Structure 1
Amino acid sequence: MSAESDPAGAVRTGRRPTVVEVAARAGVSTASVSRVLNGKLARPDTMDRVRAAVIELGYRPDATGRALKLGAAQQIAFAVDDLANPVYTEMMRGVEEGLTSTGARLLVTSTGQDPADTLALVRSLGRGYADGLVISPLRRTPALVRALVECPVPVVIVGDPGATDALDRVRVDSGAGIRLAYRHLLDTGRRRICFVNGPEQTSPGAARGSAHRRCAAEWGGSAGTVSVDAFTVEAGEHAWLQVCLLEPDALIAANDLLALGAIRAAEAAGIRVPHDLAVVGVDDIPFARIFSPALTSVSLRARERGRLAAELLLQRMSDPARPAVTVSVEPELLVRESSWRR
């Protein structure tokens, strides 16, 4: 039987590799392989050899078979950093839609701001916590990427997993969304555009901050950038203390929560939106449409990304040996009251 390698270097033979083959490749017993895959204690060198063999062979446990043996439906984990952010609620609804009629249970978890907690969650999946994972991490570390690649259950990432082509993912070019917002504000006559960013070490913070700098270099009109330590309404209100010093006539926020906080603080200071200050957010959360003034926002199609991620996961569970797939969705600018032309 011929074999080929996928982008991650895993050997594919057209059939599912077995635990026995993993043990033979690693030079350990099948019991040792089982211990590592189930997250139990093992010697460090044994763990490294088993994980390397798992990657080389492209081994994935049969989640469907395990569920049948346990007499239970498949359990799919959905993990995000902060469930208080409405964008993840929309994404979760999309995952639910993608799992409709499968009988799968959705387990929802919030990992918090610490990357170590996200890493611990991924490593716990070998203990039967879930049969598959949809994850949207804000902070990406080499250790997390490695754990996701080595995860004993199928994984789909919503976002950018970093320098690996070994994982299924659903992505959106949020930088292109910033360009839509910036061009819109210039077209409405604004000439001093401030960008309010969240933590720049996060994936969205880095991508959206970089896009704003490119827009400023290409088109001009930037009043500067203000960065805060969270993507929350409170952080947006706090950002206004620095934004007002730049005297902008327009503001792009890295997400809608920051935009809503900035509007609250600006109007409390007597600044009228959009007459004195146009504001654009990113994410198009449901509250953006009913806020006053209704918030112009770049939709990153969170619900659609969740649905696509669930569909990719089901495909991976039914065909573990297929090459990794990346699905992209396009951002869309939705113009509302907060950025009307003056």
Structure 2
Amino acid sequence: MREMAKAADLLEWYDRHARDLPWRVRPAARANGVVADPYRVWLSEIMLQQTTVAAVKSYFQTFTARWPTVQDLAAARDEDVMAAWAGLGYYARARNLLKCARVVADEHGGLFPADHATLLTLPGVGAYTAAAVSAIAFDLPEVVVDGNVERVMARLFDEHTPLPAAKPILTQHAASLTPDTRPGDYAQAVMDLGATICTPKRPACGLCPWRRNCAAWAAGTAPELPKKSPKKKKPVRLGIAYLARRVDGAMLLERRPDKGLLGGMLGWPGSEWDDAPAEAPPIRAEWKTVAGEARHTFTHFHLRLTVRTALVPMDRQPTRGEFLTRDEFSPADLPTVMRKAFDLAQGA
């Protein structure tokens, strides 16, 4: 009964304070029978992986305007989807997005499966995403645990085991509170609570609907939770990016292999990324080194790119990549690190 009361308190708060998000069916609309679109729920959850809500909103609106159904996305050209994804990062998500859309369209009749186990068989769908789609789109009582939920659970139960070791414990706590009634709204409510009230720094405990049940608030430990194990220092890798412009304004670019970092994305030909990159110019030219570096941080390392530029004649052929005209190329189609290299060259 106590857990049911906690869920009821949170749902009452959510009904009044739910965030207005472009992929969300608001609680009042759900109460009136409006059903969430599994495609929009799935698309938003893939985009939100390791990315903020603020960054995702415009991308989500662009995608759903251009590809309003999973069948539309499944029929899209790979390069168009990769270009539309540029800037969101973690590009394996975009490749799996297409694979998943095509599996749903071809093998499931364009309908997302509702159950957690079948969702897990789809490309790019892990335990969290499967639970989120099951709960939010189909209102099934799955346990949905993201970073916001972990923080809320650590404080609610005053759990001091550091992450990531605490994940199973926090998931058990979350499971103990997940209701059979309105589980989709409840899942979104916990995430909203973590995003707006139970924030990483300076949680607004005075506004929290769970304050009277929060063990960390009672103990005065809320601001220091969740505990986290020390992070390993990221190594630094070096690289060279070659920006060749033809006299007619066309730029030399290459599409990276499907597997690996920035897989399937357009980028500047360059060297390997390591401790001492070897020169690897893609075309014979008088290369000039741009002052400064294009710096970018990936999940596991920091990258520092030296940028070299050259102007080449019309008849000179590259050994790698191809020239794209002004009409064929837009800097906005580049992943962030490649756009940084372009901006550095433009600034010079």
- After TM superposition, the score normalised by the length of structure 2 is 0.24
Higher Cα radius of gyration: 2
Higher relative contact order (CA 8 A, sep 6+): 1
- After TM superposition, the score normalised by the length of structure 1 is 0.24
